[in-house]
């Protein structure tokens, strides 16, 4: 499956998503702060977070996403992928859509390929969420990873890291006894940082995917250019063969149209320069002969020449024909076609 990610639209969409996420986080944090002030809680935020039901592989994909049809999931996944919502926010990201689509279409190779591309980024995002002590997000991402591949090599390590870091965070929270106001501020800052980090991570991931797609397109363009060059060379060769055939046919027609009274005995040579000896054949001491059929026009010039036979084949053909084309004879009443055998001897 291939997606197009225009840079300008992507930047604007990510900016809007970022602003909306930050605003929503601020509202949620302020509401939570007011509720905590009214109830005067004594427990720290990490403890409240831990009290929430943990996300598992079975609940990683929300019911809202699961309720969509296969076509709706495919379109939602494509849109989320194009807008760099690769694994966040929850209930509206490419990983959840693809996991739900895989349940509805297990044999879809494009879905499996997309998940394979997205899982490494999900692992990195999980680790960064743990480092930020955002354990709810870390557990959600780990649950997505487990649903996608229960045997993933990083899964056990991530779960152990989440448990260890969560335990350490809980102990620190118990020691520090953060006030409700400080905790609310921390939540706002954490959410803001999480949104900013996710935006940057997804932009980096989108750039990597765009680079891979550009490299693939470059390879396709090169293959197309090579094929076009090969097709042109073949066409040029066919055209050259056609021209040569036409020349031979013209020579044959000219010879057939020549008067019966004009024959080889009418030819009186004026200039018959010998052929050039091919350097390779001369160095090798190769000798041979070439029989050339040629036509002399009424002005005494050679108008056509071709090799009838040669021994050895093709060693002296070119030089023999080139030499014959330079021969000159006295003008004749009608074109004359005849044959001559040209010998090549390195000793002569």
* Percent share of the chain, pLDDT over 70: 82
C-beta pairs of 304-312 under 8 Å, 24+ apart in sequence: 304/247, 304/248, 304/250, 304/251, 304/254, 306/248, 306/251, 308/339, 312/286, 312/288
What per-residue confidence (pLDDT) applies to 256?
A: 56
Sign of CA dihedral 142, 146, 151, 152: negative
Give the span between the Cα atoms of 137 and 25, in whole angstroms. 14
Residue 89 has pLDDT above 60, yes or no: yes
| pLDDT band with cut points at 50, 70 and 90 for residue 347 | confident
| pLDDT band with cut points at 50, 70 and 90 for residue 219 | confident
The kind and range of the H/E element at 250 are: helix 180-257
Residue 11 has pLDDT above 50, yes or no: no
What per-residue confidence (pLDDT) applies to 44?
A: 44
Residue keyed to tokens 């929503």: 24
The kind and range of the H/E element at 271 are: strand 269-271
Give the span between the Cα atoms of 279 and 32, in whole angstroms. 96
| pLDDT band with cut points at 50, 70 and 90 for residue 12 | very low
* Percent share of the chain, pLDDT over 90: 64
Residue 259 has pLDDT above 60, yes or no: no
Q: Measured between alpha carbons, how far apart are the two ends of the chain, in Å?
A: 73
Give me the mean pLDDT over the 91-111 stretch: 96
Give the span between the Cα atoms of 303 and 271, in whole angstroms. 15
Residue 115 has pLDDT above 50, yes or no: yes
Give the span between the Cα atoms of 62 and 64, in whole angstroms. 5
Q: Around Cβ 202, how many Cβ atoms within 10 Å?
A: 23
What per-residue confidence (pLDDT) applies to 242?
A: 84
Give me the mean pLDDT over the 316-320 stretch: 97
What per-residue confidence (pLDDT) applies to 26?
A: 39
Per-residue pLDDT tens digits for 26-73: 334 433 444 444 444 444 444 444 455 789 999 999 999 999 999 999
Across 18-32, 61-75, 315-329, least confident range: 18-32
What per-residue confidence (pLDDT) applies to 40?
A: 45
Give the span between the Cα atoms of 122 and 127, in whole angstroms. 9
Residue 263 has pLDDT above 90, yes or no: no
Residue 196 has pLDDT above 70, yes or no: yes
Give the span between the Cα atoms of 287 and 73, in whole angstroms. 79
Half-sphere exposure of 64 (CA within 13 A, CB side): 6
Enumerate the β-bridge partners of residue 329.
269
CATH assignment of 264-344, among 1.10.1670.10, 1.10.10.10, 3.90.75.20, 3.30.2420.10: 3.30.2420.10
Q: Which residue has the higher pLDDT, 318 or 44?
A: 318
CB burial class (10 A; 0-12, 13-18, 19+) of residue 293?
middle
Q: Parse the chain into domains and list their residue ranges.
A: 7-225, 264-344
Per-residue pLDDT tens digits for 145-171: 999 999 999 999 999 999 999 999 999
| pLDDT band with cut points at 50, 70 and 90 for residue 180 | confident
Q: Which residue has the higher pLDDT, 122 or 347?
A: 122
Give the span between the Cα atoms of 103 and 5, in whole angstroms. 27
What per-residue confidence (pLDDT) applies to 239?
A: 87
What per-residue confidence (pLDDT) applies to 248?
A: 81
Half-sphere exposure of 302 (CA within 13 A, CB side): 22
How does DSSP classify residue 54?
Answer: P
What per-residue confidence (pLDDT) applies to 209?
A: 87
The tokens for 79 are: 């849109």
| pLDDT band with cut points at 50, 70 and 90 for residue 6 | very low
The tokens for 63 are: 């019911």
Sign of CA dihedral 218, 222, 224, 228: positive
Per-residue pLDDT tens digits for 267-316: 999 999 999 999 999 999 999 999 999 999 999 999 999 999 999 999 99
User: pLDDT averaged over the chain?
Assistant: 84
What per-residue confidence (pLDDT) applies to 30?
A: 39
What per-residue confidence (pLDDT) applies to 34?
A: 42
For residue 103, give the nearest of 142, 57, 139 by alpha carbon: 57
Contact 336, 295 (CB under 8 A): yes
What per-residue confidence (pLDDT) applies to 51?
A: 52
Give the span between the Cα atoms of 52 and 61, in whole angstroms. 17
What per-residue confidence (pLDDT) applies to 252?
A: 62
Give me the mean pLDDT over the 127-140 stretch: 96
C-beta pairs of 272-275 under 8 Å, 24+ apart in sequence: 272/327, 272/328, 273/323, 273/326, 273/327, 274/323, 275/316, 275/319, 275/320, 275/322, 275/323, 275/342, 275/344
């Amino acid at each position: 499956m291939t997606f197009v990610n225009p840079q300008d639209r992507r930047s604007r969409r990510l900016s809007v998503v970022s602003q909306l996420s930050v605003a929503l986080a601020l509202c949620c944090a302020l509401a939570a702060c007011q509720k905590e002030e009214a109830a005067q809680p004594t427990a720290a935020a990490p403890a409240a977070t831990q009290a929430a039901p943990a996300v598992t592989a079975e609940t990683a994909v929300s019911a809202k996403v699961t309720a969509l049809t296969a076509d709706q999931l495919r379109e939602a996944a494509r849109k989320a992928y194009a807008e760099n919502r690769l694994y966040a926010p929850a209930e509206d990201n490419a990983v959840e859509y693809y996991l739900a689509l895989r349940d509805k279409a297990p044999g879809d190779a494009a879905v499996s390929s997309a998940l394979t591309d997205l899982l490494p980024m999900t692992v990195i995002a999980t680790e960064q969420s743990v480092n930020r002590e955002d354990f709810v997000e870390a557990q959600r991402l780990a649950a997505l990873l487990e649903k996608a591949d229960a045997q993933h090599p990083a899964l056990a390590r991530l779960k152990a890291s989440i448990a260890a870091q969560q335990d350490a965070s809980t102990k620190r929270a118990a020691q520090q006894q953060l006030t409700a106001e400080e905790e609310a501020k921390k939540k706002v800052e954490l959410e803001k940082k999480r949104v900013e980090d996710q935006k940057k991570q997804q932009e980096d991931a989108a750039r990597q995917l765009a680079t891979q797609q550009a490299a693939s397109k470059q390879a396709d363009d090169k293959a197309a250019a090579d094929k076009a060059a090969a097709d042109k060379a073949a066409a040029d060769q066919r055209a050259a063969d056609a021209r040569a055939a036409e020349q031979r046919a013209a020579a044959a027609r000219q010879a057939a149209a020549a008067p019966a009274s004009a024959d080889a005995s009418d030819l009186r040579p004026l200039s018959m320069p010998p052929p050039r000896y091919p350097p390779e054949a001369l160095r090798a001491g190769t000798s041979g002969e070439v029989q050339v059929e040629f036509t002399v026009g009424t002005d005494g010039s050679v108008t056509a020449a071709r090799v009838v036979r040669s021994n050895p084949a093709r060693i002296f053909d070119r030089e023999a024909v080139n030499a014959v084309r330079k021969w000159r004879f006295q003008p004749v009443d009608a074109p004359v076609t005849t044959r001559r055998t040209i010998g090549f001897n390195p000793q002569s």
